[in-house]
Structure formats: C-alpha cells, structure tokens
Amino acid sequence: MNDAAQPKVRVATTSLAGCFGCHMSFLDIDERLFELLERIEFDRSPFTDIKHCGPCDVGLIEGGICNADNVHVLREFRKNCKILVAVGACAVNGGLPAQRNHIDLGECLEEVYVTEISLAKGCIPNDPELPLPLDKVHPLHEVVKIDYFLPGCPPTADAIWKFLTDLLAGRTPHLGHGLIHYD
Amino acid sequence: MGTHAELEAIVDRYSGESTALLQILREAQEIEGWLPPATLTCLARLLEMPRARVEGVAGFYSFLHIERAGRYRVLFSDNITDRMAGNSELLDRFCNSLWLERGKTSEDGLALVDTTSCTGMCDQGPAMLVNGWAIPQLTPARVDEVAELIRSHTPVEDWPAALFQIEDNIHRSDMLLDASLEPGAAIRAAATSGPLATLEAIQCSNLRGRGGAGFATGLKWQSCRNATGDMHYVVCNADEGEPGTFKDRVLLTRYADLVFEGMTVCAFVIGARKGFLYLRGEYRHLLAPLQEVLARRRSDGLLGNDICGQPGFEFDIDIHLGAGAYICGEESALIESLEGRRGIPRNRPPYPVTHGYLQQPTTVNNVETFCAAALIALRGGEWYAGIGTGKSTGTKVLSVSGDCVRPGIYEYPFGVTVRQVLEDCGAQRTQAVQISGPSGTCIDATEFERRIAFEDLPTAGAFMVFDESRDIFEVASNFVHFFAHESCGFCTPCRVGTTLLRNVIDKLHKGKGSQHDLNQIFKLSRLLQSASHCGLGHTACNPLLDTIKRFRPAYERRLESLEFEPAFDLDGALERARAMTGRDDAGAHLRTDE
Ligand SMILES: Cc1cc2nc3c(=O)[nH]c(=O)nc-3n(C[C@H](O)[C@H](O)[C@H](O)COP(=O)(O)O)c2cc1C
Ligand code: SF4
Ligand code: SF4
C-alpha cells in the first residue's frame, strides 16, 4: 500500500494550566517520532508555533482550565478537532494547579501581589491584556466534551505512543496493565 | 474534656474491651456533646490503643463529633418523605428562630442544626433527633416549642414526654403481628425437639432473610452450625437504615420478646453462647426498654445459664448502639462496628457464617427473620411453608409511607399485589411506588399488579408512595444524595462515583443538563455496578436507572441542550477575579453561548 497517498492525520497540541511535562513525555517517544511524523502532521502546537488551530483530526491537551484564556483555547480546539484528548492528570482532574481550589482566589491574589514581599510592590494586575483567573481550576471535561482521557503525571512515552498508534490504527485506545501507573 | 475519672469509669464499665470502642465513644460524647482531642487522647491511653484508631473510629460515625458540636445537636431527618411533609421549611423556621446557620455550631456553643439520613419515622414525619432522641410529627408549633426549650437551656431529660411519643401505627396484622407468644414457648419447643430437628423445621419452612437479600435462613444456620470455631455468635441486624423502612422499630417496640426468642432459638441451633443486637443510633429511645426486656428474660430463666432448665444451654445478649452510618447495616460492616472499628465492609468470602465476629462463626439475621424463626420453632416448618408463595413463604411486614391516608405497618402473606397495598393504605392517584427503599425498585402505575415476593418484587420492607403531584426527579435526587452521603469511602468507584452522580443530578436540577449528562449517568452506573466493593455501590444507581426508564420526561425537561453543557457557570467563575481587579471589559467575561 502506498502510504504517501493517504492524507496525514492532522494533530494539534497545547498546554493550558500544565507544566509542559506531558509535552516532554510526548517527546520522550524519541526516534519513534520519525515514524509518527510519516503518519501525522502538526497544526497548532508548541512544536510548530502556529498560533491558532485549524480543522484537525486530533487535539491533545495538557493541563486543566485555570483562566479565561484557557477556556477560549479549549473551545477553539473543540471547534476544530474531531477527537479531543485530555492528556495527563491536570487535564483529567485539574491536577497540581487545582491544589489552589482550597484557597479563596481573592486571598491568593492578595498574598501573591500585595502582602508578599516581592519585586513588584503594589497591586493586583488589572491590564485587560491579561486573562482573568477562574475562582477554581477545572478539568477539561467540565468545560467541553472530551472524547478520551489519557491519565498519568505525565503519561509515559510508551503510554502516549500506545494511545496514538491505537488511534491511528482505528482501535479504541486501550492502555492496559503496565502503562497506567499511579505510584 | 470529660475528667480522667469520668472517662475511666466509662472504660471500666466496658472492662476496657477494645471491641466496645464505639460504645465508649458514644458515652464519652454525652459528657460534653462532642469528643474534644484531649478526650480521644485519654481514651486511647486507657484502652491502650493507638490514638489514630480512636480518632479514626470517632471520625467515621456521623453521630460522633470530633469538632465542637454544641450542647444541643438537632438533626432533621431528610428522607424524601420528610421533604414531602415540609421538613425544609421547618428547618429554616427553626434556624431563624434560634439565629443559627445550618451545619454550623452557634458561637455560644448552644446548638448545631443539620440534616441526617432517614430516621425511620416516615409514617409520622417530619422527624428530628435531639441529642439522639427522636421527635416525630414536627409542625411549626412543635418546632417552636423545641426552639424555646433550647433557648431556655432546658436539659433534654426535662423536656415534655409528649414530644418523644412515637406511634406504632399497625394497620394490618397477620400471623406474625397477631402472634401472642408466651415468652419462652418457642425455646421450650426447640429444646424439646432438639437442635437438629429445629434446624430442619427452619429449613423446611423455606424462610428467607428479611433484611433484603433473601438468603435461605436454614442454610445460613446450618453453615454456621457446621463451621468450626472457639465460639459461635448470633447477631440481630437492627440497623434498619434503608430509607423508608421502619418495621424493625415497631417489632422491637412491641415484639421484643419474639425477637429475643428467635435469637435464642438460633443460639440453641448453632451452638452460640453470646448474641448481639445491633440497634441503629436513631432508635436510641428503644435502648432502655429493650434492656428491661433482656433483664426480665434473664430473671425468668430465658437468658443466662441453663435456659428453660436445659443443662448447659447458656446464652446472653448485649445491645450495641450504632451511631448514624447506613453502611453498618451491611453485615460485615456491622461486624466491624461491633468489634469497635470503622464500619467498612469486609472482603466476602469468607462470609460471617465461618468468619464473623472476632473471626468466629456468626449468624447475622434481620429482626423480622428472627421473629419468624421463633414462630417456626413453635409451630413447625410445614405450617409456615403453607403461607405465602412457592419461593417466598410466610408473611412480610411492610413500612408504608408517603402519599396515602394511613401510613404505617402492614403485614401481608407474600404474593400480595402492590395495588392491594395501595388500596388498603388509602393511596389515591398514585404515580409511583418505591419498593424496598433507594436500593430497591421504583415502579409506575402500569406495574401495580406486580407482587411483593422474592420472585417478583423483593423487599426489605419499605413501600413509599408518590402521587401524581410529585416530581419523580426530586425523589431520585434525594436518593442520589443519600448514597453520596452514606458511601463509606473505602473504595474509589463508590466514593467518587456517588459524588459524581450527585454532581450530575444537581446540574440537572438547575436545569443545566444535556444529553451528555444522561449518558454519563449510564456510564457511571456500569462502573459502580462492576467495580464497587459492596452492595451500597452496586445499588447506588438504581434510583436513577429506574426513574430514567419510567419517568424520562422528568429528566428531559431539565436539559438545557442535547449536546453538552459545562459543569459550572463559566462567567460566574470569573466574578471573584473581576471584583479583585475592578475589571469589567469584554475580556473579563466568558460568554456561555459560544
Ligand atoms: C448497604 C447495605 C445495607 C444493609 N442494611 C441492612 C439493614 O439495615 N438491616 C438488615 O437487616 N439488613 C441489611 N442489609 C443486609 C445485610 O447485609 C444482611 O444480608 C442481612 O442482615 C442478613 O439477614 P437476613 O438474612 O435475615 O436478611 C444491608 C446490606 C447492604 C449491602
Ligand atoms: S499531568 Fe503532570 S506532567 Fe502533565 S502537565 Fe500536569 S503536572 Fe505537568
Ligand atoms: S461500595 Fe461504597 S459503601 Fe461499599 S465499601 Fe465501597 S465505598 Fe464503602
């Protein structure tokens, strides 16, 4: 079969309220990346620096939703991606950033920008350029419909590889034993 | 905290047994209305157990308070039947009149007001518990009276007895409720025919457990009798936590001798010397009367040594009071609780018949099962097998509540139709009946010819009636909240799953649901059914599945869209940040129609 004749699967990725650890784990598939690039091409992604997502087959999202901008980006992905995947604990559950959910947002901002001794003394930034934080950090599926969840912090390179190869082969992704670790 | 001497006296009364931890904590709480850290530390020392274990147990039971809880703890029963009778308005009225906020101990330490799961007063609701004592038939006047008593700091012991008056409301009796058994008659009959013949009678009666699962009682007794162990135990399950069920309360109020008689017969058959009655904390008011019955039976030679003159037949019964945990009705959790631990269900197998209380062979039966067993010992298995249907012999005591003229206790031979019960209790324009509580089945008007029997509609006794004026969604929502509240938290599928279900139902309640949320319910239900550790998780979805199937429009009219709706108000989630930054530009808002 002539692979070249098959159109490539278009993939977009982004990091919202995450640490880029999931993207790093993605890169950890190492030389398998070449194999993957035969089958896929990247749309909006830190790998391409394309600013806005166009029509895609798959969207991979790392990180949860902590501010208004995250909501806009997530909605853009949902509008354009046939399949949307929550990658990593932050996207699936809110993860580490959601630790702040126990603290009142007002107190949080006060402490960071006003009472804490820091370089920029003064006030809570209010420039309209800046996205406003939500009062709580939320997982992706509370804002848009998510089709698949890839757990782990981060999911291992093998797990990401297995997930993507299953998806490309038309199989329902199944990680199974050994690829999901919680400890 | 209670003084060292006070606590020591309590511990001594229980001979310093670690198995009595729950009882000790319950009594220690009576000193100050809560369990301060120093009390827990002191008890841990006296009992020579890790403090973490003491606090772990104290933290598990909802009637034990490890945070300051006030001199008066007032809990409004929050079953759907209490709701239908207006408990929310009464709770608000009560809070307003005492200037209290629900769920928060007042600053002067006077009172804590909150809700609790069904207290088993559904035929005379709405009800409340004050420091553990039940007050039924709440009206605005009664609620004001209670508020006044609290305002005047009157000790609960001095409150008018009329407040605590609880009715039996028996409206239909059959062979069990009609039985006037002379105390000791069944034991003497068993002693005359011997343990094996008595066991045979139980087997031949085809008696099945009345606690819900319907396990064959004869088989259970036989397995327990044959199991080897140092000691055998009899346990009567009077935890009766299933919302809408209150028949065990009436059996223990009016037929306590019959219950103890059945337990003693069981002890005779399986060779037990020790028995426990696990009484739910909500029935605190029954403790003293039951203890009196036990004392009388001891002095009549029906408990103790050489019972009924049978040399070597020795048996006695202790009452163990629960502390507000539905899960303790599950037999292995109940045994854990009896042993003075958190009520977390054990792995099964091994089953209690071989590894029960203190890992010894233990027979756990429901209150009503023991009553029936006593009658069988007296009158024979064949007589009993002749009543009811093929697979469900004997009678069933139903607890009828909700929309009907005569709520209360109804005993029928198995096989009675739902329609018959509805007629007898004076129910009109009935829309649905919840059989056997939230973990049971909800049926609609097309199914009223169905029969109460293990082969059709099995039940532990609850029969809650909803007429056409009711919104069935509210019923399901109440039950979903019940399970989320009562999940013991041991296994993740149920701990998280029941909370997710509650979130979905709350979202629907606000009219913010979508088809996606309904799909989510089905997904969660598969997960709960396949992955939960015990029956609570397995049945937690029943109310939703049953009502979505039969009353789908009640859900559909709460959908905002057919696709997807966010779980929270996106623009509202920016409100705090807007306030902190003083911004109100376009970028400081999130549109919901995108
Ligand atoms: C979550 C849960 C709650 C239960 N609650 C009760 C109860 O309140 N009373 C009861 O008799 N059985 C209850 N059961 C059933 C008991 O585990 C057990 O099957 C029963 O006590 C056995 O007695 P029986 O054979 O006489 O019915 C419950 C089971 C589960 C899973
Ligand atoms: S899941 Fe872990 S690795 Fe991935 S973004 Fe969150 S914190 Fe980073
Ligand atoms: S299913 Fe629920 S109640 Fe049962 S053990 Fe698990 S968490 Fe506890």
Q: How far apart are CA B282 and CA B252, in angstroms?
A: 13
pLDDT for position A121: 65
B189 and B113 in a common domain: no
AA letter at B298:
R
Which residues have a Cβ under 8 Å from the Cβ of B450 and sit 6 or more positions away?
Answer: B417, B418, B443, B456, B457
Query: Does residue B543 sit within a domain?
Result: no
> Binning pLDDT at 50, 70 and 90, where does residue B592 land?
confident
> Binning pLDDT at 50, 70 and 90, where does residue B535 land?
very high
DSSP state string for B299-352: HTTSSBSSGGG-TT--BEEEEEE--S-GGGGSHHHHHHHHTTS---PPPSSSPT
Decide: helix, strand or coil at residue A17.
Answer: strand
ipTM over 0.90: no
B312 and B198 in a common domain: yes
A108 touches chain B (CB under 8 A): no
Domains defined along chain A, listed by start: 9-100+135-168 (3.40.50.700)
- A81-87 vs A148-150, strand pairing mode: parallel
Residue A127 class from Cβ within 10 Å (0-12 exposed, 13-18 middle, 19+ buried)?
A: exposed
B322 and B365 in a common domain: yes
Yes or no, beta carbons of A144 and B564 under 8 Å apart: yes
Chain B residue numbers touching A138 (CB-CB < 8 A): 567-568, 573
- State yes or no: pLDDT of B229 exceeds 80: yes
**pLDDT tens figures, B479-503:** 999 999 999 999 999 999 999 999 9
> Binning pLDDT at 50, 70 and 90, where does residue A1 land?
very low
B429 and B375 in a common domain: no
User: Is the CB of residue B170 less than 8 Å from the CB of residue B399?
Assistant: no
Q: Please list, residue by residue across B69-104, b when 16 or more beta carbons sit within 10 angstroms of its beta carbon and e when fewer do.
A: bbbbbbbbbbbbbbbbbebeebbebbbebbebeeee
Take atom 8 of ligand 1 and give the residue whose Cα is closest. B240
Which residue, B334, B550, B327, B282, is CA-closest to B435? B550
Query: Does residue B509 sit within a domain?
Result: no
Return the H-helix or E-strand segment holding B22: helix B21-32
B330 and B353 in a common domain: yes
Q: In terms of CA atoms, which chain A residue is nearest residue B578?
A: A132
Yes or no, beta carbons of A132 and B578 under 8 Å apart: yes
| Residues facing B130 on adjacent strands | B74, B133
**pLDDT tens figures, B82-123:** 999 999 999 999 999 999 999 999 999 999 999 999 999 999
Residue B387 class from Cβ within 10 Å (0-12 exposed, 13-18 middle, 19+ buried)?
A: middle
User: Is the CB of residue A70 less than 8 Å from the CB of residue A16?
Assistant: yes
B195 and B339 in a common domain: yes
Chain A residue numbers touching B565 (CB-CB < 8 A): none
DSSP state string for B121-158: -GGG-S-EEETTEEE-S--HHHHHHHHHHHHTT--GGG
Domain edge (last residue) among B39, B60, B81: B60
User: Is the CB of residue B337 less than 8 Å from the CB of residue B22?
Assistant: yes
The C-alpha of A103 sits at a distance from chain B's nearest C-alpha, in angstroms, of 12
Q: What is the count of residue pairs from A and B with beta carbons less than 8 Å apart? A: 62
Atom of ligand 2 nearest to the CA of A21: 3
Which residues have a Cβ under 8 Å from the Cβ of A70 and sit 6 or more positions away?
Answer: A16, A17, A63, A64, A131
| Residues facing B444 on adjacent strands | B432
Most distant CA pair in chain A: distance in Å?
66
pLDDT for position A5: 64
Yes or no, beta carbons of B568 and A68 under 8 Å apart: no
A145 touches chain B (CB under 8 A): yes
Name the token pair of B19.
């198995």
User: Is the CB of residue B63 less than 8 Å from the CB of residue B112?
Assistant: no
* A155 CB within 6 A, ligand 2: no
| Residues facing B398 on adjacent strands | B410
Atom of ligand 1 nearest to the CA of B240: 8
CATH of the domain at B101: 3.40.30.10
Half-sphere exposure of B453 (CA within 13 A, CB side): 18
Q: Which of B237, B277, B283 to mutate to test the pocket of ligand 1 (most atoms within 8 A of CB)?
A: B237
Yes or no, beta carbons of B585 and A134 under 8 Å apart: no
Alpha helices in A50-122 (DSSP H): 68-80, 89-93, 105-109
Chain A residue numbers touching B574 (CB-CB < 8 A): 68, 132, 134-135
B294 and B233 in a common domain: yes
Q: Tell me, what DSSP letter sits at residue A143?
A: T
> Binning pLDDT at 50, 70 and 90, where does residue A119 land?
low
pLDDT for position A114: 86
- B233-238 vs B274-279, strand pairing mode: parallel
Q: In terms of CA atoms, which chain A residue is nearest residue B582?
A: A126
Cα B317 to middle of ligand 1, angstroms:
20
Q: Which of B242, B487, B496, B499 to mutate to test the pocket of ligand 3 (most atoms within 8 A of CB)?
A: B487
B198 and B113 in a common domain: no
Name the token pair of B83.
């709701």
A68 touches chain B (CB under 8 A): yes
- When divided into structural domains, chain B yields a total of 4
A112 touches chain B (CB under 8 A): no
Query: Does residue B570 sit within a domain?
Result: no
CATH of the domain at B361: 3.40.50.11540
Decide: helix, strand or coil at residue B85.
Answer: coil
User: Is the CB of residue B185 less than 8 Å from the CB of residue B163?
Assistant: no
Q: Which of B327, B346, B525 to mutate to test the pocket of ligand 3 (most atoms within 8 A of CB)?
A: B327
Structural domain harbouring B111: 72-155
Q: How far is CA B222 from CA A129, B197, B211, in A?
A: 77, 12, 19
- Range of lowest pLDDT (A118-132, B111-125, B380-394, B507-521): A118-132
In chain B, what percentage of residues exceed pLDDT 70?
99
CATH of the domain at B21: 1.10.10
CA end-to-end distance (rounded Å), chain A: 42
AA letter at B579:
A
User: Is the CB of residue B195 less than 8 Å from the CB of residue B294?
Assistant: no
Half-sphere exposure of A29 (CA within 13 A, CB side): 19
Decide: helix, strand or coil at residue A32.
Answer: helix
What is the residue whose two structure tokens read 């370089």?
A: A119
Q: How far is CA B300 from CA B192, B234, B249, B304, B307, in A?
A: 18, 21, 24, 10, 9
Q: Please list, residue by residue across B522-534, b when 16 or more beta carbons sit within 10 angstroms of its beta carbon and e when fewer do.
A: eebbebbbeebbb
B421 and B322 in a common domain: no
Cα B527 to middle of ligand 1, angstroms:
23
User: Is the CB of residue B213 less than 8 Å from the CB of residue B207?
Assistant: no
Cα A76 to middle of ligand 2, angstroms:
21
Residue B18 class from Cβ within 10 Å (0-12 exposed, 13-18 middle, 19+ buried)?
A: middle
B285 and B303 in a common domain: yes
| Residues facing B115 on adjacent strands | B76
Query: Does residue B493 sit within a domain?
Result: no
Name the token pair of B34.
């809560």
Name the token pair of B204.
């031949």
Domain edge (last residue) among B470, B489, B508: B470
Cα A88 to middle of ligand 2, angstroms:
6
Name the token pair of B451.
């029969």
Domain edge (last residue) among B91, B121, B155: B155
A134, A138, A148: best mutation site toward chain B, by most B Cβ within 10 Å? A134
B145 and B97 in a common domain: yes
Decide: helix, strand or coil at residue B569.
Answer: coil
CATH of the domain at B458: 3.10.20.600
- State yes or no: pLDDT of B253 exceeds 50: yes
The ligand with the least distance to the CA atom of B541 is 3
Cα B540 to middle of ligand 3, angstroms:
10
Which residues have a Cβ under 8 Å from the Cβ of B526 and sit 6 or more positions away?
Answer: none
- State yes or no: pLDDT of A181 exceeds 80: no
Decide: helix, strand or coil at residue B432.
Answer: strand
Half-sphere exposure of A106 (CA within 13 A, CB side): 6
A71, A124, A129, A132: best mutation site toward chain B, by most B Cβ within 10 Å? A132
Q: How far apart are CA B543 and CA B440, in angstroms?
A: 8
Yes or no, beta carbons of A128 and B585 under 8 Å apart: yes
Which residue, B431, B418, B441, B436, is CA-closest to B543? B441
Alpha-carbon Rg for chain A in angstroms: 18
Take atom 2 of ligand 2 and give the residue whose Cα is closest. A153
Q: In terms of CA atoms, which chain B residue is nearest residue A129?
A: B587
User: Is the CB of residue B192 less than 8 Å from the CB of residue B373?
Assistant: no
What is the residue whose two structure tokens read 């966010």?
A: B566
Chain Cα centroid distance, residue B99: 31
Residues of chain A by 3-state class (helix, strand, coil), percent to 5: 40, 20, 40
- State yes or no: pLDDT of A122 exceeds 80: no
- 3-state SS, B238-279, equals ECCCCCCCCHHHHHHHHCHHHHHHHHHHHHHHHCCCEEEEEE
B56 and B108 in a common domain: no
Chain A residue numbers touching B592 (CB-CB < 8 A): none
Q: How far apart are CA B255 and CA B275, in angstroms?
A: 18
Average pLDDT over residues B225-242: 98
Q: In terms of CA atoms, which chain A residue is nearest residue B569?
A: A143
